[in-house]
Structure 1
């Protein structure tokens, strides 16, 4: 299988694009499998986090140009954009954290996939670029808007218009990378973050993601209403009440 979803005993999923002979570039079959894996993740109520990575020494090189070269009509372009835009919107809509483990080059559509994740953990030797402009293209899977929200208008426009390649340090400076790991350890770093978050109350984690995702796409007043609606059930939850009791007991013991 060129795209796999493995569920760890810790209820952390690992979605791997495994086409290392083409730096994990996606052909039509891989795109369909990718979308199916995302839907499987949506159906698993026990999942606490999802890690997305590439096999071998690359993350994802985007679309497989050799496989897609015969499909050059506007109808083909609509299909390609539609399939992957839908898949990445569904990836983004997962209720738990989605973490990209970027273990090497991420180009074009691979950079687009990375931006649909909540976090990006990158190896020190990672390189990252929206190279579509070099092929006379713009991003077609939603990354233009995602990049704009992360780095701002001027940085986003410059990155997209020049197609220049960013290293791990510049990615972190721009807010495109959350953490940098040594070479070859992006997946380990992503798993560490997933486990760290998974120790927190699941309902609160899901509420936080809903709140901030809503804030990206709606007016502030609407997002604040959602934030207010999320708080009362969390305040009344067993997890919150138990955590407060444990805190007060620890404080009481320290004062004795």
Structure 2
């Protein structure tokens, strides 16, 4: 079976590349499973996550993961944290997102789940869940406000606005913006600086940040999945998916 995620090593640094450029690295179930497994089993001292081609990640593959509410029975997620999110939140390995292009929907969640974000100038960011009649995953709720403050987070979540890399840097969503051709070298240089430090101390520091700053991710994940199960059944979700596939403006009705 052809893999959706490519994994390479550069010394003590692991490079995780979403490798579905033909669909802008959209995530299907196989992609989520491979990402989860790679993060849980890596022996690297630091990870760099990026996307193949000109996109970081366009979010869920709508035709596979989100269209159940449009044409068939609505998905009923288990009341638990998304396994890929759980793996990224639980790992003691520092994760750097090298955002090489649009990071929208769960693509933005993936960037938020990293410890550090380096963005190419062509990168864009958007929490698009509201446009599909859904709520974001745990990172959009639990991490975004930590980075940009509650008011800016609320604006991004409630409007579904897509912002460019320069604005993302100004509001603190990303740590640095670099020229497109310098993205991976800059991210790898940062990863190697981290990986050169004592790994036990780095892992302890990451656990300390979780203890000091993070909510109960499992409880939040259960709330998100339960809420998504309800939102998947709404007319607004079905309209959000249909309008996206039909490339037209949606008509929401509040049901």
Q: What TM-score, normalized by structure 2, do the two folds share?
A: 0.77
Extract structure 1 runs of 4+ deviating beyond 3 A: none
Query: What corresponds to 1:5 in structure 2?
Result: 7
Question: Is structure 2 residue 75 aligned with structure 1 residue 76?
Answer: yes
The offset of 1:71, in angstroms, is 2.5
Measured on the aligned residues, the alpha-carbon RMSD in Å equals 2.1
Q: Provide the rounded CA distance (Å) in 1 between the counterparts of 2:30 and 2:90.
A: 22
Q: State the Cα deviation string for residues 42-67 of structure 1 (Å, max 9, x = none).
A: xx2xx210111111100001100122
- Measured at CA, do residues 77 and 148 of structure 1 come closer, stay the same or move farther in structure 2, by a change above 3 Å? farther
**Kept in 2: contact 1:91–1:116 (CA 8 A):** yes
| TM-aligned CA deviation for residue 204 of structure 1 | 2.1
CA pair 55-139 structure 1, distance change in 2 beyond 3 A: same
**Partner residue in 2 for 1:211:** 208
CA–CA separation in structure 1 for the residues paired with 2:125 and 2:113: 14
Quick check: 1:21 aligned with 2:22?
Answer: yes
Once residues 169 and 98 of structure 2 are traced to their aligned partners in structure 1, the CA distance between those partners, rounded to angstroms, is 14
Query: What's the CA shift for 1:115?
Result: 0.4
- Aligned partners of 2:67, 2:127: CA distance in 1, in Å? 22
Q: Which residue of structure 1 aligns with residue 117 of structure 2? A: 120
5 Å-filtered alignment, 1:146-185, equals 146-185=143-182
Provide the residue aligned with 2:33 in structure 1.
Answer: 32
Shift of the 69–116 alpha-carbon distance from structure 1 to 2, 3 Å rule, reads closer
Distance in 1 (CA, whole Å) between partners of 2:76 and 2:55 is 25
Give distance in 2, aligned partners of 1:160 and 1:5: 31
Q: Which moved more, 1:174-183 or 1:102-111?
A: 174-183
Q: 1:36 to 1:96 in 2, by over 3 A?
A: closer
TM-score (norm 1): 0.77
Determine which structure has greater relative contact order: mean sequence separation of CA pairs < 8 Å that are 6+ residues apart, divided by chain length.
2
Give the drift of 1:68.
2.4
Closer/same/farther in 2, CA of residues 172 and 77 from structure 1, 3 Å limit: farther
The alpha-carbon deviation at position 188 of structure 1 amounts to 1.6
CA contact (8 A) 1:103 1:185 kept: no
Q: How many angstroms apart in 2 are the aligned matches of 1:152 and 1:74? A: 37
Match of residue 48, structure 1, among 45, 56, 62: 45
Stretch of structure 1 that moved more, 109-118 or 142-151:
142-151
Q: CA deviation at 1:23?
A: 0.3
Residues 102, 187 of structure 1: 8 Å contact kept: no
Residue deviations 1:69-91 (CA, integer Å, cap 9, x gap): 44237762415x857x2211211
Deviation at 1:142, TM superposition (A): 3.6
1:201 Cα offset (Å): 2.3
Task: Report deviation, 1:212.
Answer: 1.3
Q: Relative to total residues, which structure has the larger helix share, 1 or 2?
A: 1
Q: Distance in 1 between matches of 2:49 and 2:109?
A: 13
Contact 2:12 2:192 in 1 (8 A): no
Structure 1 residue 154 displacement after superposition: 0.9
